[in-house]
Amino acid sequence: MKAMPTSLITEGKIDLLVIARGLPRVEVEARDEVLVLTRKWRVRGIERFHTTVIKRFVNAAKLAILLGLQRSEGLKDGTRVRFTNTDPRLHQMFIESLKELGINDFSVHAYYCYCERCGLKKLKDVIKEFKKLTEVEVKAIYINKYAHKVVFQTDVNDRMLAMLLIRAEELLRELAAKGLLPREIVAKYVLGSLEGDGCIELRLKKSMNKDSEKADGLFLRISERNTEAAADLKEIFRRYFGIQLHSYGYDHIGSINLQRALMMLNDDIIPLRHKNKVVTRVMLAFRRKGLPWILVQLAKNHRDNWFTAREASKVLGKRCNHVREKLAALEKDGFLTSIKCKFSPNGKGTPIRRIYRLTEKAMQIESLLSSLPPNFSFFRKSY
């Protein structure tokens, strides 16, 4: 497989011509703004053909999300584009991303159990929500006794488009595994993958007192059957997000420490249905005056200024020696930068002191913490 050049992404756009040229038995006509894809075949000696017109330059972030969703819940046999999931919001993301390519012909079917326990109101409400989010009608609803949640299938009956998406996903994943794509584009791809096949689990140590509650671990799990894709995804998580995944059959599981959790929130790769678990983990650390609390306090008092360990100790309410160790750890993790300088507050002598300053990374995390839900603000103000 030929690697896709990183120059493919220019000013946030991807040129699909590079990908389309590699499609088997597909003729590609490149125009200024669109690509015309033509596939020819014979049936009983009669030549037939099908033509698809797509945009040539597409938004890289939206395409990355589309390819992540395709990797997780999309049909991968190359016969048609099909996305299957119970969440109307994910279908909205999938359809909007396809519209970015110039695709507007969608066929949606649903499956439901119709059992007495679930009832018809549940079906009607979800169908209504799907239509509101996607602006696409559900053509038919079929009975599936196991579908206690409404399962939607979004179809685009286009073999060439299906082949294009499969190839694009393979190339993007290959480049990301080699570290050749921008972090923000990889984050969108990972978000799409996690939205479909990802799961985040928060384990708490049992305690009679909620204020003494501790996190026993935060774990990420992603399911992937394809060996090559699994290896690439593991490398992507390691290279871009510092998360080491271990394989257990088709499941690939990794532990997320507090710093990684904060960075995942900052990169916006946490699926919406799991975000509250990560926020809870951050809240617990804040309550126990961990990393989030320290960053908020330092930003509150020394946002754009240099400060000494002694000044930090007054802000954090801890002994200077302990604070020096903490500041050194923060600097190692990229939250602080420091320099040595002559420091003589009394005008006597010229002692050398190390002074610190918050980095852009730290300010991003502090801004993220400030944007968390109101109940998190309660913890912030209580200290």
pLDDT tens, residue by residue, 60-75: 999 999 999 999 999 9
Higher per-residue pLDDT: 12 or 189 = 189
Instruction: Measure the CA–CA gap between 58 and 71, rounded to whole angstroms.
Output: 19
**Beta carbons of 139 and 109 less than 8 angstroms apart:** yes
Q: Is it true that domain 182-284 has CATH number 3.10.28.10?
A: yes
CATH class belonging to 6-166 = alpha beta
Q: Report d(CA 33, CA 57) in Å as an integer.
A: 7
Measured distance CA(179)–CA(176) in Å, rounded: 5
Q: Which residues pair with 107 in a beta bridge?
A: 155
The domain at 289-382 falls in which architecture? Orthogonal Bundle (1.10)
How much of the chain is helix, strand and coil, in % rounded to 5?
A: 45, 25, 25
Q: How far apart are CA 262 and CA 258, in angstroms?
A: 6
What is the H or E stretch that residue 176 is in?
A: helix 159-177
- Calculate the average pLDDT of the chain: 88
Q: For strand 34-43 and strand 138-143, is the pairing parallel, antiparallel, or unpaired?
A: unpaired
pLDDT digits (tens, 9 = 90+) for 268-295: 999 988 988 888 888 888 878 888 889 9
Q: For the chain, what percent of residues have pLDDT higher than 70? A: 91
How is the chain split into domains, by residue range? 6-166, 182-284, 289-382
